[in-house]
Amino acid sequence: MNSKKKTEQIEHLTTINNLTREFSTVTVLMHQAIAQKAGLVGTDHKYIDLLLQHGSMTAGQLAELSGITTGAVTAMIDRLEKSKLVKRERQTDDRRKVLVVLDQEEAFKRIGPAFMTMQEDLKQLYNDFTETELATVEKYLKAAIEFSNKQIRNLNEN
């Protein structure tokens, strides 16, 4: 690779790294705003999303899936239970285990409006891209998710 191409590549990678960092920060801030609008704390609505995606689970499973401590999960479940978004139910086949069960209707009522508006805005954003560009974005996001999950595992192991 000649030096001009190498310089251009370095510039592109620097720009992509800076934009990724900025996107990461703005995403956290957006989710904080969504949580506040729904009367929640921090990223509690993302834990609700985990329950939506994976269904009812024990506190230990939620801790493992989210990567937060069991103590932090217990505090989060307490907050969500107080907000009437989840309830604890004894598992029918093993009464010693307690499942965290999401009240989907209440979750959609509280969090849904922000995401409905966002979905409409995203449709407009996506209209500005060609099919080829959308495929590239999809490829990047899949790779970025895989990369991030690997980083989370590494951080949790060390």
The mean pLDDT value for 13-23 works out to 94
CA distance 72 to 70: 5
- Reading phi first (left if > 0) and then psi (alpha if -120 to 50, else beta), residue 42 is in left
Domain 3-127 -> CATH class = mainly alpha
Predicted confidence (pLDDT) per residue in 108-158, tens digit? 898 888 888 888 899 999 999 999 999 999 999 999 999 998 988 888 787
Look-up of token digits 């999303």: 49
CB 49 within 8 A of CB 107: no
Domains of the chain, residue spans: 3-127
Query: How does pLDDT run across 30-86, given as a tens digit for each residue?
Result: 988 888 888 888 788 889 999 999 999 999 999 988 888 888 999 999 999 999 999
Q: Report the predicted TM-score, pTM, of the whole model to 2 decimal places.
A: 0.75
Q: Give the integer Cα–Cα distance in Å for 17 and 20.
A: 5
Residues 4, 111: Cα–Cα separation, whole Å: 49
Tokens of 70: 């069991």
Q: Where are the alpha helices (DSSP H) in the chain?
A: 3-37, 44-54, 59-66, 70-82, 104-126, 131-157
- State pLDDT tens for residues 99-110: 999 999 999 898
Q: For the CA atoms of the chain, what is the radius of gyration?
A: 20
What is the side-by-side strand order in the sheet with 86-90?
57-58, 98-102, 86-90
